[in-house]
Amino acid sequence: MFPSTPSTTPAPALEAEGLGYTWPGRDQPALRDCGLQVPASGLWMLVGSNGSGKSTLLRLIAGLLPLQRGQLRSRVRSALVFQNPDHQLLLPSCGSELLLAIDASLERDDRERRLERALDQVGLAGLADRPIHALSGGQKQRLAIAAALASEAELLLLDEPTALLDPASQQEVLALIRRLTSRAEQPLTALWITHRLEELASCDGAALMRDGHLGPWQSGTALARRLAG
């Protein structure tokens, strides 16, 4: 059914085959026979025109939509990061936001440690008491990523995470995800939707979504060149 993976390479983080999804009340499917394999680490990008089904696919992978057709197998915990962090961050301070994501059954000390570590990993060390409204857009997006890390997600699903950010913050968030997905120890996997062709230069592979169907992984730079031309 799924191609078997050689034992020397780590198992993919995610495998999907034949996915189909039709939104309630629509007659045209948003996804049709859509498949993908996301490797165990790295930064993988999806591009495609508006309405081609990218967000639907991410929501399906995140388990926010019921599986209607096809198969989906994930080896790791995943977490979604939305375009607008204000739709995601619910609590008044950085620390309280992260505590919400941390397993409540852990001892208090362990929760504190995990909280500090998550802030540290996204470059927000020491800001646990900082009110969220006092953060910049880029800092808010990094906090949303910290919450994903605090929840022990290993597959980050990012839906146009830089669309609302200024150029400096875009760079910050992209560099952070690059770092997390290429570090030597426990590198994470990121599936990143973008409409910024320049971001494709930073990925390990990119795929084009067209009419609810996803093409194969290819070089991000080559795909960007083709789409720009």
Ligand X SMILES: Nc1ncnc2c1ncn2[C@@H]1O[C@H](COP(=O)(O)OP(=O)(O)O)[C@@H](O)[C@H]1O
Whole-angstrom distance, CA of residue 117 vs CA of residue 100: 15
Contact between 30 and ligand X by CB under 6 A: the answer reads: yes
Question: CB of 195: closest distance to ligand X in angstroms?
Answer: 9
Convert 8-37 to b/e letters by CB count within 10 Å (16 or more is b): eeeebbbbbbebbbbeeeeeebbbbebbbb
Of 56, 139, 189, 202, the one binding ligand X by CB under 6 A: 56
**Partner whose binding site includes residue 50, from Mg ion, ligand X, none (CB under 5 to 8 Å by kind):** ligand X
Does 55 engage in binding with ligand X (CB under 6 A)?
yes
Q: Would you count residue 55 as binding Mg ion (CB under 5 A)?
A: yes
From candidates 52, 181, 189, 202, binder to ligand X by CB under 6 A: 52
| Of 151, 220, 160, residue with least CA distance to 194 | 160
State which residue, 2 or 23, has the beta carbon closest to ligand X.
23
| Binder of residue 105, out of Mg ion, ligand X, none (CB less than 5 to 8 A by kind) | none
Instruction: Say whether residue 161 binds ligand X (CB under 6 A).
Output: no
Are 53 and 215 in contact by the 8 Å Cβ rule? The answer is no
| Among 87, 86, 113, 111, residue whose Cα is nearest residue 101 | 111
The answer to the question of residue 52 lying near Mg ion (CB under 5 A) is no
